[in-house]
């Protein structure tokens, strides 16, 4: 079976963007692939986190993965910092990452513009850690949203560079980006992507939001001054709502345009809100049940860490040998 690997940061409850662009697809792949999914807590340190909050968010994120349909009997699920090899390989790969290419990463440019008081080296070398995450498990495919495409391209470049010098150490990973919903936009600024770390709670739908809150956020979503529901360049707000509605209901854009012909934005926003609330309801229920048993969750992530460490050590061992690091 081909290997799939992906991760998500514990920077808040997952948004509808994370769900549609990534996590929703992860569960579906479990039958056909060997899947590994992890909570990227080391990545989240690039932005200042409050310790108690980070601890809670990490456990919540782990439970959310399970609530979204990832089955620990079928997939490897773990927490990044529990597996030392990630940080270790990341250092090694950062020595094969060029200043110039890291400087061109749009996420670095965006995040360093947003956190001007904390443009730290981790924010800059983030792609080297992501490359380590992927290459340790010899992943064939990495299912991510559009915003991670550039980082994946970088991972391939570093892997190729390393393999060129030392022989075939790393398997070359391919991006696995969904056709629809790869980039869900903010409900308040539809030219920006929806992010769970956004400070404006009206900008995103959290997958644990109550149905009422979901409907209200869609009602307040920024659109345009026209009245016709149609997918067209420049109508970023409506395009975003149509793409969300289409992914959730399975209806085509043509069909949506026909169904809402003669109706206003208000009707459409309500329909989107209700469809999303319905889609997320089972996740919210499952999450509540899972977090009620903390000991069971802990047992699951410990088991995940053990298996993950075993796989990761194999690759790291090979790398060290190739580099000429003296075995102890």
Separation between Cα atoms, residue 290 and residue 56, nearest integer Å = 14
Touching ligand ATP, residues 1-40 (CB under 6 A): 8-9, 11, 15, 17-18, 21-22
- 193 as an active site residue: the answer is yes
Tokens for 15?
């948004």
- 2 as an active site residue: the answer is no
> Which listed residue (74, 192, 193, 217) is catalytic?
193
Count of positions on this chain that bind ligand ATP (CB under 6 A): 20
- Answer whether 204's CB lies under 8 Å from 16's CB: yes
Residue 61: closest CA among 82, 35, 39, 45: 39
Residue 181: closest CA among 143, 231, 145: 145
Per CB under 6 A, does 217 bind ligand ATP? no
Site string for ligand ATP, 221-260 (x = CB under 6 A): ----------------------------------------
Q: Is 279 annotated as a binding residue?
A: no
- Answer whether 246's CB lies under 8 Å from 198's CB: no
- 263 as an active site residue: the answer is no
Closer to ligand ATP at the Cβ: 197 or 200?
197
- Answer whether 156's CB lies under 8 Å from 189's CB: no
Contacting range for ligand ATP; rule: CB under 6 A; set: 52-60, 81-89, 145-153, 233-241 = 145-153
> Which listed residue (28, 111, 263, 294) is catalytic?
111
Residue least distant from ligand ATP (Cβ): 21
Separation between Cα atoms, residue 132 and residue 116, nearest integer Å = 27
Contacting range for ligand ATP; rule: CB under 6 A; set: 91-99, 194-202, 207-215, 256-264 = 194-202
Tokens for 255?
């069909």
Q: What SS3 class is residue 192?
A: coil
- Answer whether 194's CB lies under 8 Å from 16's CB: yes
Q: Is 112 annotated as a binding residue?
A: no
Q: Which residues bind ligand ATP (CB under 6 A)?
A: 8-9, 11, 15, 17-18, 21-22, 144-145, 147-148, 182-184, 193-197
Q: Which residues are marked as active site?
A: 111, 193, 196
């Amino acid at each position: 079976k081909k290997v799939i690997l992906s991760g998500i940061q514990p920077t808040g409850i997952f948004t509808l963007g994370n769900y549609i662009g990534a996590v929703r697809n992860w569960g579906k792949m479990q039958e056909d692939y060997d899947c590994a999914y992890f909570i990227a807590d080391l990545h989240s340190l690039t932005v200042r986190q409050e310790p108690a909050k980070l601890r809670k968010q990490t456990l919540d994120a782990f439970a959310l993965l399970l609530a979204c349909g990832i089955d620990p009997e079928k997939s490897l699920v773990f927490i990044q910092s529990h597996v030392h090899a990630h940080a270790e390989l990341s250092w090694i790969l950062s020595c094969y990452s060029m200043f110039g290419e890291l400087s061109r990463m749009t996420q670095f440019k965006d995040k360093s513009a947003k956190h001007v008081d904390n443009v730290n080296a981790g924010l800059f070398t983030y792609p080297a850690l992501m490359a380590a995450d992927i290459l340790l498990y010899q992943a064939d495919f990495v299912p991510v949203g559009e915003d991670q495409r550039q980082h994946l391209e970088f991972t391939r470049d570093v892997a190729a560079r390393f393999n060129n010098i030392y022989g075939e150490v790393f398997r070359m990973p391919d991006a696995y980006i969904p056709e629809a919903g790869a980039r869900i936009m903010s409900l308040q600024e539809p030219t920006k992507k929806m992010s769970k770390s956004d400070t404006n709670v009206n900008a995103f739908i959290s997958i644990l939001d109550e149905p009422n809150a979901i409907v209200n956020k869609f009602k307040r979503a920024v659109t345009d001054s026209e009245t016709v529901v149609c997918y067209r360049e420049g109508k970023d707000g409506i395009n975003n709502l149509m793409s969300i509605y289409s992914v959730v209901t399975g209806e085509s854009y043509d069909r949506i345009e026909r169904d809402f012909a003669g109706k206003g934005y208000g009707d459409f926003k309500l329909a989107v809100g209700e469809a999303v609330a319905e889609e997320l309801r089972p996740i919210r229920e499952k999450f509540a049940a899972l977090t009620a048993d903390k000991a069971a969750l802990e047992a699951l992530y410990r088991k995940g860490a053990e298996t993950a460490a075993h796989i990761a050590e194999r690759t790291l061992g090979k790398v060290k040998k190739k580099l000429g690091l003296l075995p102890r």
